[in-house]
């Protein structure tokens, strides 16, 4: 975030120095200044050896050209590690030792042509057909659509958001095969993540299940083996998030220069080449090998024990991407898949800070911030890593594992609730995918081992290349699949993603859980980013009526005395928790310092809320939460941890500099630099060297 | 857009209150306890500024002392608390200023930020030696409190004092003596091989000293730059600027003796003797950024020094010309020859174009300026011309551009002199405005083309309508699904209105 701003500043500086230079020169200067920034600051994530370092904000790229690979610098003063901070708290890692890096499958492209993202070339009424509203309805979409006829192995990519249905043949999308069905998938393809490439797989004789779906005028242009998909615009409002978290501004916008064939689809932009830092999603061979392995072959089904797939590895190795693929692949065989999130820094379905158990029914095509979901069950840990409360973290996971084992794995009690005769997927077994945290050192090793013991995986997917120590592979132990780590995203930091995911949550519009069937997935598919948080009408809680307890958890929480609680809560991020523990008697105080967080065995975290205001005596709290009120009926405990609302969420994005109109002084925010020495929070650098180390 | 920082206080008055609890005349045990409670609450809210965090641990230790009973309870835990408070205060102030690759000594950084040396010693003793006595630790903590008062509270509460505060010293020792020492060593090294063996350690020492100097410059730069929030880049740039100034002064990269300056016959680069002396130094320092800084400094100097007023000490035109030519040779060498290990030809040509366009642009404008002011047309920027020629020699395309552009500029000078006179008399013509309008439209249509589409996009995708079960519908269903006891959804009819987060406006 800041590095992007610094880079922009540097560019402006550069421009100032040479205001009247030729236009083409400007381009050069910017590129140059950017690559130099990389050299001397390293903040632009020097793990970037994919070579795609072209500045995305360059407006005047005339022709796509690959940037030179940026040489990694062993050290840079700006590569700091912040200690227990909100915007870079991946302090678990030791920057001294770099993560192992492997040649990637697309590395050879670095110095050559930009990667080709679409081999398909649209030609109206030959292989691309605009469908009228009626035709759209006839193929199961809600309005006008575009049908594409793809020759086998053709690829087509879009940046943006779109709805997708496969009519004939099948496609390979984000590591998963999508077969023809009635299901309309939602695809979110911001260029902040690798772009999904739709690859046509030959329709092997399987004439589409319902050929009547394909309008006749299209059918005449379909050859044997061709694949037919229909696309429709997807208006979700998710692009509005870019106005809030400005680092992600325009990630759903067209990246292409003019003059390429266009497919008429609002909000999705046909993309042929990997320009401007765009990266395509590629499944590397080691991933494909691991994925095509045993857990997905039908032989494993003879074993009636449900599959439990555990994903582990260092941060930035691609755990979350892999877990998503695992879920998507399982969904083609199971009606429902359970997902246990143990990575509380960057969670897949929930905002960070909580361990959560989710039920997934539809494949997920998009990065985590595009599918915030109300969890089946969750427990609030209150930080983006479990360092402050490792045993509470483990208890919370244990509680979720118990829930899975008791209620979900053989979902017998739910069978038959909704019956879809068309669906031949397995209903009565729900497999589990477990994503673990990236803290793989020190205490993290111990925690990871304990999690492994709790979930008892049938398969372990690991990015750790060192062979397991000691006893080797046990005959009846889990199958272990080793994968190469993926390339980390060069442009956005973990803190950026965390901020986006939290604000995506707060602006999401969730479905009303009381109208959903049991176990139905409650994923938001709409975002309302029309108002900043500060302008949204809050709920007002009369604290002694609405709440049983307020709990503070985290280092130093015990030292907050009762009179100071009001101060601490203003602007705090809290979890809304339901607790089966006996409610407070009238004589008891709402807050007692040192109260432990609710026991995960008897409680459940319903969602997060922002305390946007507190009355001076603490009797009234004003809360903002995206969780529908129907789901909050039992929320009688507030838990405040160490998570904080990112600065982006405090700002009013409708004004230029984020300051709110109508308020002279914005509390808790300070523009400009701290004047005194020691006015900044402590910075910890772990990569400093001594002369003697040379 | 500049992002604000989170601070724990809603208004500065709240910080001032903490300040008066701790520092005012009538501050006592109860006000100290209030400060501890407030700071503890803040610390839970967010990571505190280091100064406040240190203050908290000092205050807690002082409170601990008030219950200490000599002879009954052990002094060890009290001494440990004091020691920890001091160690963490010093570390927290010094660590952020470790800006280089290698650790600098704590005492040298402390000296630069005006932290008393004996606190650093106390920190060392408390960490590595016998735990200091209670008396000494008490004094140390007192000193810490005073330091925080002058260096944190006063400047923060009254920003006008910020620059008066004795926080970080602006002074930076000159780099020239170091460069001179280096030069002397390298010269004697070049003279005989024997010296090489003897002086190698010395050379390393000087190079290390130079690095130390750069580290000091970075910290001084932190203060010279009011915008230190931007990270370390401005500091780094500031430090490199100072180094470039020292390097480009006469007597460093450009020797004092005019005979030693001139490039050898047929070469565009500095004499080998000069290169032999200075390349080890340049390569030892941060290479990429230094080269960029150095070449832009050279270009700036070549372009500026043609102005007679700019360097009044420079009365000898020949002297200046030879200085500039030598600079130009260095400039050419930096662009063409000094490559990093991984650099390709494309990098070099990008660099070359960068410098080239700066030069051409400046030369054209100066020609035109001279034409309008009637100054002598003879180009008096031999260095800039030489550098331009050197760059053109490696790239035919640039040579063509420069030939066209400069010829036109030179031709224009003659014409421009006349035109400018004429234009002064020529009456304003109404059609001129139309021409300007047409040009403006043309320019806009160019600028608009790539941007129009995203704008349309914004218009055609209005905020999505809340779907069934969404927040909007739940708001309208408020009557149907009553909220629980103690909950209500405020609206503007209740008197609530949008306001910054943290402000409480009661609903009716």
Q: List the beta bridge partners of residue A81.
A: A684
| Pair A632, A638: CB distance under 8 Å | no
Q: Which of A159, A209, A214, A212 is nearest to A187 (CA)?
A: A159
How do the domains of chain A map onto residue ranges? Answer: 2-79, 128-271, 285-490, 530-650
Higher per-residue pLDDT: B447 or B362 = B362
The alpha carbon torsion through A326, A327, A332, A336 (nearest 10 deg) reads 150
pLDDT at B80: 94
**Residue B328 reports pLDDT greater than 70:** yes
Please provide the average confidence, as pLDDT, over all residues in chain A: 77
pLDDT at B121: 92
pLDDT at A591: 92
pLDDT at B356: 83
pLDDT tens figures, B160-186: 655 544 444 456 778 888 888 888 888
pLDDT at B420: 44
pLDDT at A211: 53
Higher per-residue pLDDT: B65 or A298 = B65
Encode B259-296: b = buried (16+ Cβ within 10 Å), e = exposed: eebebeeeebbbbeebbebbeebbebbbebbbbbbbbb
How would residue A564 be classed by pLDDT, with cut points 50, 70 and 90?
Answer: very high
Determine the Cα–Cα distance for residues A234 and A207; give it in Å rounded to an integer. 28
Contacts of B291 in chain A (CB under 8 A): none
Question: If DSSP codes are grouped into helix, strand and coil, which group holds residue A523?
Answer: strand
Q: Which residue is associated with the tokens 């020097």?
A: A46
Q: Which two tokens stand for residue B16?
A: 């001032």
**Mean pLDDT, to the nearest integer, of B203-207?**
82
Answer whether B50 sits within 8 Å of A534, measured CB to CB. no
pLDDT at A188: 95
Determine the Cα–Cα distance for residues A354 and A554; give it in Å rounded to an integer. 14
| Pair A501, A349: CB distance under 8 Å | no
Q: How many domains does chain B have?
A: 1
Mutate to test the interface with A, among B86, B502, B506 (most CBs of A within 10 A): B502
Q: Are strands A603-614 and A620-624 parallel, antiparallel or unpaired?
A: antiparallel
Q: Which residue is associated with the tokens 């020629």?
A: B389
pLDDT at B40: 95
Query: Ranked by mean pLDDT, which of A474-478, A484-488, B143-147 comes out on top?
Result: B143-147
The number of C-alpha atoms within 13 Å of B501 and in the hemisphere containing its C-beta is 28
**Mean pLDDT, to the nearest integer, of B313-317?**
60
Contacts of A481 (CB under 8 A, 6+ apart): A290, A293, A459, A460, A461, A462
pLDDT at A485: 85
User: Considering the domain boundaries, does residue B70 fall inside one?
Assistant: yes
Answer whether A568 sits within 8 Å of B45, measured CB to CB. yes
DSSP A269-338: EEE-B--TT--B----HHHHHHHTSGGGSGGGGGS-SPPEEEEE--TTSSHHHHHHHHHHHHHTTBS-EE
Among the partner residues B340, B483, B502, nearest to A629 by beta-carbon distance = B483
Distances (CA, A) of A158 to A167, A276, A632, B129: 19, 14, 38, 65
Answer whether B44 sits within 8 Å of A258, measured CB to CB. no
| Pair B149, B15: CB distance under 8 Å | no
Least confident of A148-162, A219-233, A376-390, A608-622: A219-233
Answer whether B51 sits within 8 Å of A676, measured CB to CB. yes
Torsion sign across C-alpha atoms A381, A383, A384, A389: negative
Least confident of A163-167, A448-452, B220-224, B300-304: B220-224
Q: Which two tokens stand for residue B206?
A: 């000087």
Torsion sign across C-alpha atoms B57, B62, B68, B70: positive
Contacts of A336 (CB under 8 A, 6+ apart): A359, A360, A361, A411, A427, A430, A519
Higher per-residue pLDDT: A189 or A468 = A189
DSSP secondary structure letter of residue A475: T
**Mean pLDDT, to the nearest integer, of A67-87?**
39
| Pair A680, B232: CB distance under 8 Å | no
CB atoms under 10 Å from CB of A37, counted, come to: 25
Answer whether B100 sits within 8 Å of A667, measured CB to CB. no
Helix axes B345-373, B396-425, angle to 10 degrees: 20
How would residue A475 be classed by pLDDT, with cut points 50, 70 and 90?
Answer: low
Determine the Cα–Cα distance for residues B182 and B284; give it in Å rounded to an integer. 13
Least confident of A193-202, A303-312, B199-208, B369-378: B369-378
**Residue A526 reports pLDDT greater than 80:** yes
pLDDT at A185: 93
Higher per-residue pLDDT: B21 or B333 = B21
User: Considering the domain boundaries, does residue B103 fall inside one?
Assistant: yes
CB atoms under 10 Å from CB of A222, counted, come to: 21
Please provide the average confidence, as pLDDT, over all residues in chain B: 75
Question: If DSSP codes are grouped into helix, strand and coil, which group holds residue A170?
Answer: strand
Q: Which of A523, A173, A172, A178 is nearest to A368 (CA)?
A: A523
R_g (Cα) of chain A, nearest Å: 26
**Mean pLDDT, to the nearest integer, of A38-59?**
36
Contacts of B423 (CB under 8 A, 6+ apart): none
How would residue B142 be classed by pLDDT, with cut points 50, 70 and 90?
Answer: very high
Contacts of A653 in chain B (CB under 8 A): none
pLDDT at A310: 93
The length of chain A is 694
CB atoms under 10 Å from CB of B148, counted, come to: 25
How would residue A46 be classed by pLDDT, with cut points 50, 70 and 90?
Answer: very low
Interface check for A559 against chain B (CB to CB < 8 A): the answer is yes
The number of C-alpha atoms within 13 Å of A62 and in the hemisphere containing its C-beta is 7
| Pair A307, A456: CB distance under 8 Å | no
Query: In this structure, what are the phi and psi dihedrals at residue A480, rounded to the nearest 5 degrees?
Result: -115, 125
Least confident of A556-565, B198-207, B302-311: B302-311
**Residue A87 reports pLDDT greater than 60:** no
Determine the Cα–Cα distance for residues B336 and A180; give it in Å rounded to an integer. 59
**Residue A343 reports pLDDT greater than 90:** yes
How would residue B33 be classed by pLDDT, with cut points 50, 70 and 90?
Answer: very high
**Residue B344 reports pLDDT greater than 70:** yes
Query: In this structure, what are the phi and psi dihedrals at residue B5, rounded to the nearest 5 degrees?
Result: -100, 150
Among the partner residues B449, B490, B498, nearest to A534 by beta-carbon distance = B498
Contacts of A671 in chain B (CB under 8 A): 2, 4-5
User: Considering the domain boundaries, does residue B411 fall inside one?
Assistant: no
CATH of domain A285-490: 3.40.50.300
Higher per-residue pLDDT: A415 or B211 = B211
pLDDT at A148: 92
Give the angle A577-A557-A495 at the CA atoms, nearest 5°.
75
Distance from CA of A166 to the nearest CA of B (A): 25
For chain B, give the percent of residues with pLDDT over 70: 74
pLDDT tens figures, A370-398: 999 999 999 999 998 898 899 999 999 99
R_g (Cα) of chain B, nearest Å: 33
pLDDT at B63: 92
Looking at B262-364, which runs of residues are DSSP E strands? none
Query: Ranked by mean pLDDT, which of A541-545, B265-269, B461-465 comes out on top?
Result: A541-545
pTM higher than 0.90: no
Determine the Cα–Cα distance for residues B355 and B351; give it in Å rounded to an integer. 6
Query: Ranked by mean pLDDT, which of A121-130, B41-50, B426-435 comes out on top?
Result: B41-50
Q: Which residue is associated with the tokens 């047309």?
A: B377
**Mean pLDDT, to the nearest integer, of B417-442?**
61
How would residue B398 be classed by pLDDT, with cut points 50, 70 and 90?
Answer: confident
CB atoms under 10 Å from CB of A441, counted, come to: 12
Determine the Cα–Cα distance for residues A74 and A96; give it in Å rounded to an integer. 9
Determine the Cα–Cα distance for residues A159 and A141; give it in Å rounded to an integer. 20
Among the partner residues B11, B460, B501, nearest to A534 by beta-carbon distance = B501
Query: Ranked by mean pLDDT, which of B59-73, B202-216, B301-315 comes out on top?
Result: B59-73
Determine the Cα–Cα distance for residues A328 and A323; give it in Å rounded to an integer. 9
Interface check for B236 against chain A (CB to CB < 8 A): the answer is yes
Q: Which of B282, B260, B287 is nearest to B272 (CA)?
A: B260
Interface check for A88 against chain B (CB to CB < 8 A): the answer is no
Range of the domain at B129: 12-161
User: Considering the domain boundaries, does residue B44 fall inside one?
Assistant: yes
Contacts of A619 in chain B (CB under 8 A): none
**Mean pLDDT, to the nearest integer, of B484-495?**
84
For chain B, give the percent of residues with pLDDT over 90: 17
Query: In this structure, what are the phi and psi dihedrals at residue B430, rounded to the nearest 5 degrees?
Result: -60, -35
User: Considering the domain boundaries, does residue B437 fall inside one?
Assistant: no
Higher per-residue pLDDT: A54 or A11 = A11
Contacts of B502 (CB under 8 A, 6+ apart): A570, A571, A612, A613, A666, A667, A668, B10
Determine the Cα–Cα distance for residues B32 and A199; give it in Å rounded to an integer. 68
Q: Which of A377, A423, A635, A593 is nearest to B41 (CA)?
A: A593
How would residue A50 be classed by pLDDT, with cut points 50, 70 and 90?
Answer: very low
Question: If DSSP codes are grouped into helix, strand and coil, which group holds residue A450?
Answer: helix
Task: Enumerate helices (H) and strands (E) in chain A, giving the number of each.
Answer: 13, 29
Higher per-residue pLDDT: A676 or A399 = A399
**Residue A608 reports pLDDT greater than 90:** yes
**Mean pLDDT, to the nearest integer, of B81-88?**
94
- CATH architecture designation of domain A128-271: Sandwich (2.60)
Encode A627-659: b = buried (16+ Cβ within 10 Å), e = exposed: bbbebbeebbbbbbbbbbbbbbbbbbbeeeebb
pLDDT tens figures, A305-325: 788 999 988 887 888 899 999
pLDDT at A112: 46
**Residue A71 reports pLDDT greater than 50:** no
Q: Which two tokens stand for residue A134?
A: 């009626």
Interface check for A677 against chain B (CB to CB < 8 A): the answer is yes
What is the 3-state composition of chain A as percent helix, strand, coil, each rounded to the nearest 5? 25, 20, 55
Interface check for B1 against chain A (CB to CB < 8 A): the answer is yes
CATH class, domain A530-650, is mainly beta
């Amino acid at each position: 975030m800041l590095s992007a701003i610094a880079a922009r500043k540097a560019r402006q500086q550069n421009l100032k120095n040479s205001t009247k230079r030729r236009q083409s020169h400007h381009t050069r200067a910017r590129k140059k200044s950017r690559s130099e920034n990389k050299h001397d600051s390293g903040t632009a994530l020097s793990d970037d050896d994919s070579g795609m370092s072209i500045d995305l904000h360059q407006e005047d790229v005339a022709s796509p050209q690959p940037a030179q690979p940026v040489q990694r610098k062993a050290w840079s003063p700006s590569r700091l590690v912040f200690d227990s901070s909100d915007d870079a708290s991946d302090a678990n890692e030791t920057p001294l030792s770099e993560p192992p890096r492997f040649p990637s499958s697309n590395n050879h492209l670095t110095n050559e042509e930009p990667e080709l993202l679409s081999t398909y070339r649209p030609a109206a009424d030959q292989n691309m057909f605009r469908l009228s509203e009626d035709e759209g309805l006839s193929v199961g979409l809600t309005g006008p659509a575009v049908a594409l006829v793809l020759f086998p192995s053709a690829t087509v990519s879009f940046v943006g958001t779109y709805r997708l249905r496969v009519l004939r043949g099948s496609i390979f999308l984000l590591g998963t095969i999508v077969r023809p069905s009635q299901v309309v998938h939602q695809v979110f393809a911001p260029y902040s993540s690798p772009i999904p490439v739709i690859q046509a797989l030959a329709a092997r004789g399987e004439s589409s299940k319902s050929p009547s779906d394909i309008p006749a005028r299209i059918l005449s242009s379909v050859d044997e083996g061709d694949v037919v998909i229909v696309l429709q615009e997807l208006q979700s409002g998710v692009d509005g998030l870019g106005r809030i978290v400005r680092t992600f501004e325009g990630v759903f916008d067209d990246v292409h220069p003019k003059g390429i064939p266009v497919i008429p689809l609002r909000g999705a932009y046909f993309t042929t080449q990997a320009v401007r830092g765009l990266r395509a999603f590629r499944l590397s061979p080691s991933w494909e090998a691991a994925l095509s392995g045993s857990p997905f072959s039908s032989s494993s089904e003879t074993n009636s024990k449900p599959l439990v797939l555990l994903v582990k590895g260092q941060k930035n190795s691609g755990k979350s991407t892999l877990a998503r693929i695992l879920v998507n692949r399982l969904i083609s065989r199971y009606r429902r898949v359970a997902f246990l999130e143990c990575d509380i820094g960057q969670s897949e379905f929930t905002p960070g800070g909580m361990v959560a158990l989710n039920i997934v029914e539809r494949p997920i095509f998009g990065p985590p911030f595009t599918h915030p979901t109300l969890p089946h069950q969750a427990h609030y840990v209150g930080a983006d890593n479990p360092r402050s409360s490792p045993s509470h973290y483990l208890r919370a996971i244990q509680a979720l594992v118990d829930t899975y084992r008791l209620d979900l794995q053989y979902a017998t009690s739910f069978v038959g609730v909704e019956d879809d005769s068309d669906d031949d997927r397995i209903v009565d077994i729900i497999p589990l995918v477990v994503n673990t945290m990236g803290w793989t050192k020190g205490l993290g090793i111990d925690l990871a081992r304990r999690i492994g013991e709790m979930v008892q995986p049938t398969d372990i997917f690991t990015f750790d290349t060192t062979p397991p120590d000691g006893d080797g592979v046990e005959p009846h132990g889990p199958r272990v699949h080793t994968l190469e780590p993926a390339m980390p995203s060069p442009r956005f930091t973990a803190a950026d993603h965390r901020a986006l995911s939290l604000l995506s949550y707060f602006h999401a519009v969730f479905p009303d859980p009381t109208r959903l069937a049991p176990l139905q997935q409650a994923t938001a598919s709409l975002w309302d980013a029309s108002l900043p948080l500060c302008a949204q009408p809050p709920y007002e809680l009369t604290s002694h009526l609405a709440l049983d307890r307020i709990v503070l958890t985290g280092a130093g929480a015990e030292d907050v005395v009762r009179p100071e609680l009001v101060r601490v809560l203003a602007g705090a991020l809290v979890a809304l928790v339901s607790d089966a523990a006996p409610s407070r008697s009238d004589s008891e105080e709402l807050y007692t310092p040192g109260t432990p967080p609710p026991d995960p065995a008897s409680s459940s975290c319903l969602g997060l809320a922002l305390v946007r205001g507190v009355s001076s005596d603490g009797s009234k709290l004003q809360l903002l939460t995206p969780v529908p009120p129907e789901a909050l009926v039992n929320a009688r405990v507030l838990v405040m941890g160490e998570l904080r609302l990112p600065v982006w969420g405090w700002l009013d994005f409708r004004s230029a500099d984020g300051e709110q109109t109508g308020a002279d002084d914005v509390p808790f925010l300070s523009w400009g630099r701290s004047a005194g020495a020691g006015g900044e929070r402590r910075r910890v650098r772990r990569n400093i060297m001594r002369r003697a180390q040379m | 857009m500049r992002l604000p920082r989170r601070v724990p206080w809603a208004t500065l008055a709240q910080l001032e209150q903490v300040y008066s609890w701790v520092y005012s005349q009538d501050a006592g045990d109860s006000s100290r306890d209030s400060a501890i409670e407030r700071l503890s609450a803040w610390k839970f809210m967010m990571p505190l500024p280091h100064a406040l965090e240190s203050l908290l641990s000092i205050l807690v230790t002082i409170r601990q002392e008030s219950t200490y009973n000599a002879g009954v309870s052990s002094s060890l835990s009290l001494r440990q608390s004091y020691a920890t408070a001091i160690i963490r205060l010093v570390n927290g102030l010094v660590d952020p200023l470790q800006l280089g690759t290698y650790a600098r000594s704590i005492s040298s950084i402390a000296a630069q930020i005006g932290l008393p040396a004996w606190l650093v010693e106390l920190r060392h003793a408390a960490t590595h030696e016998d735990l200091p006595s209670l008396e000494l630790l008490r004094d140390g903590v007192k000193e810490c409190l005073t330091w925080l008062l002058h260096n944190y509270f006063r400047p923060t509460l009254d920003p006008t004092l910020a620059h008066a505060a004795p926080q970080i010293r602006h002074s930076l020792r000159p780099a020239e003596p170091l460069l001179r020492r280096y030069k002397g060593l390298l010269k004697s090294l070049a003279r005989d091989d024997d010296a090489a063996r003897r002086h190698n350690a010395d050379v390393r020492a000087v190079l290390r000293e130079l690095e130390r100097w750069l580290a000091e410059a970075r910290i001084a730069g932190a203060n010279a730059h009011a915008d230190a929030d931007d990270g370390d880049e401005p500091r780094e740039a500031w430090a490199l600027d100072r180094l470039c100034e020292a390097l480009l002064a006469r007597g460093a990269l450009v020797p004092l003796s005019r005979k030693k300056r001139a490039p050898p016959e047929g070469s565009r680069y500095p004499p080998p003797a000069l290169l032999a002396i200075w390349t080890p130094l340049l390569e030892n320092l941060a290479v990429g950024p230094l080269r960029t800084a150095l070449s832009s400094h050279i270009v700036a100097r070549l372009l500026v020094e043609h102005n007679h007023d700019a360097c009044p000490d420079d009365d000898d035109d020949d002297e200046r010309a030879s200085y500039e030519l030598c600079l130009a040779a260095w400039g050419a060498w930096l662009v063409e020859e000094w490559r990093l290990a991984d650099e390709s030809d494309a990098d070099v040509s990008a660099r070359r174009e960068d410098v080239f366009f700066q030069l051409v642009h400046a030369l054209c404008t100066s020609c035109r300026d001279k034409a309008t002011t009637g100054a002598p047309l003879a180009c008096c920027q031999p260095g800039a011309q030489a550098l331009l020629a050197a760059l053109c020699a490696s790239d035919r395309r640039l040579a063509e551009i420069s030939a066209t552009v400069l010829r036109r500029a030179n031709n224009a000078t003659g014409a421009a002199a006349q035109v400018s006179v004429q234009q002064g008399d020529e009456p304003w013509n109404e059609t001129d405005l139309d021409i300007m309008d047409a040009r403006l439209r043309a320019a806009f249509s160019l600028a608009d083309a790539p941007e129009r589409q995203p704008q349309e996009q914004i218009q055609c995708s209005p905020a999505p309508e809340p779907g069934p079960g969404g927040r909007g519908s739940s708001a309208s269903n408020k009557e149907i699904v009553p909220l629980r006891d103690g909950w209500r959804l405020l609206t503007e009819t209740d008197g609530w209105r949008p306001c910054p987060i943290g402000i409480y406006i009661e609903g009716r």
